[in-house]
Amino acid sequence: MGFVNGNRMPTTDKVCIHWRAGRCTRNPCQYRHSELPQQSSNNNNGMGSRRSPVTQPSDHGNFSGENFFSRRKPNIYNRADTQPPSNCGKDHGQGAGAVRGPGFRAPLKTQNKICTYWVADKCSYGESCRFLHQWFVSDSFTMLTQLAGHEKKKVISGIAFPEGSDKLYTGSKDGTVRVWDCRSGQCAAVLDLGSEVGCVINEGPWVFVGIKNCVKAWNTQANNELTLNGPSGLVNALAVHNDMLFAGTQDGSILVWKFVAASNCFEPAAALQGHRGSVVTLIVGANRLYSGSMDNTIRVWELETLQCIYTLTDHTSVVMSVLCWDQYLLSCSLDKTIKVWALTMSGNLEVVHTHKEEHGLLALSGMPDAQGKPVLICSCNDNTVRLYDLPTFTERGKIYAKEETRAIQTGPGGLFFTGDGNGDLKVWKWSEQSPEAASTMQQ
């Protein structure tokens, strides 16, 4: 065994990662304290050097003067140019590039895990780190900014846009609703409700907030506030159709109020019973109300009669979110699946496609991309948000967070928002160019 510079020769050809970071204290060390000789281009085992496809977030401090309300909020409903999800499930992968340094080949980037040391501002590897140093992976969208204000470690549970307003409303388990100025990105007001917020929605100029044992309603144009009593426990979900407001409650019931224009108030209309667990999600589509519950079922209610006409039992765990797309119903669950439902010739709702994930799913939202193609946004309980083209479920990108993302809201101008369990609220925007055009430019 020989010596180099007075030290015993290493017993392996591996380079000491602690030496690379400048903090190895072993002498002698069994690993190399020098870089491996650079291999010739004729002996690289077919591994070429190419840039990582990961997109860097934009360094905007605010919403960059976006005119949020230049057109109505986009959605993915009633699109005639979409195809039925019979072609669902095409695979789509993202390759990882090899980054070559001055005298060595750094580890391949691991595209499916964020660096926990980078999140804590403690990673010493910099660009040579094999884990992600950014909050997303996509060529289709970018992060505009992050809005700080809600209490840390408290879940952001709802995000809403009132029509005709330049304000964004967000609710949190910290017991507040924050009002954000869309042009400056600054918090304009804080409403202390004295109770954790279960959900936030808007309809026209109204903002509705579900809290414990009641629903708060604000008319942002008339500047008046209403309190709707009746719920038992936390209100987890809200939905509006025409002049009716629906509230899904902790005790499994769905309360209904009817708006009376003459008095500018809401009057109790009905209480829908049937779920055996808390109602956690509501959506209205095709003149029906769909409710998902902790009892693992979806109930379908006829709006004219307020009667339950179907009970869907294909999920095996909590139904966390339901969404209407074209003539289909989409649902996600902690059973790690997204199910696509369609009406059969007999008039029954049946599953026509099941998309499986590795983790439980928490929330669904949808919007068109910059080219008008429908995109499904879904959050998982591994602290990620996945974006998929419909109907193929081809992956368009992935968003990372410190905690689970519970609130997703879309907006005009290609904007969308995510709020997570760490209290972080992020603003995203779809790129104007198509992924195909971006790929061509990179080549």
Q: In this structure, what token pair is assigned to residue 60?
A: 């905007």
Q: In this structure, what token pair is assigned to residue 256?
A: 């209904």
Per-residue model confidence (pLDDT) at position 47: 30
Which pairs count as long-range contacts for 220-229, CB under 8 Å and 24+ apart, including other chains? 220/162, 220/164, 220/165, 220/167, 221/164, 221/165, 222/264, 224/264, 226/265, 226/266, 228/257, 228/266
Asked if 243 and 269 touch (Cβ cutoff 8 Å), the reply is no
User: Please, which residues bridge with residue 159 across strands?
Assistant: 170
Q: Coil, strand, or helix at residue 62?
A: coil
Residue-wise pLDDT for 90-125, tens only, equals: 443 333 333 333 333 334 444 567 787 777 777 877
pTM above 0.85, yes or no: no
How big is the chain by its Cα radius of gyration, in Å?
25
Residue-wise pLDDT for 392-430, tens only, equals: 999 999 998 889 999 999 988 888 999 999 999 999 999
Q: In this structure, what token pair is assigned to residue 144?
A: 């505009």
Residue-wise pLDDT for 156-191, tens only, equals: 999 998 777 789 999 999 999 999 998 888 899 999
Task: Report which DSSP code applies to 216.
Answer: E
Other C-beta atoms lying within 10 Å of the C-beta of residue 256: 21
Q: In this structure, what token pair is assigned to residue 270?
A: 């009905």
Do the strands 328-333 and 361-368 form a parallel or antiparallel pair, or are they unpaired? unpaired
Q: Which residue has the higher pLDDT, 121 or 153?
A: 153
Residue-wise pLDDT for 321-360, tens only, equals: 999 998 999 999 999 999 999 988 888 899 999 999 999 9
Residue-wise pLDDT for 261-303, tens only, equals: 888 889 999 999 999 999 999 999 989 999 999 999 999 999 9
Task: Report which DSSP code applies to 363.
Answer: E
Q: How far is CA 192 from CA 176, 195, 209, in A?
A: 5, 8, 12
**Of 55-69, 239-253, 293-307, where does mean pLDDT reach its minimum?**
55-69
Asked if 209 and 203 touch (Cβ cutoff 8 Å), the reply is no
Rounded CA separation 393/356 (Å)? 10
Q: Which residue has 């910099």 as its token pair?
A: 126
167-172: strand order across its sheet: 156-160, 167-172, 176-181, 187-192
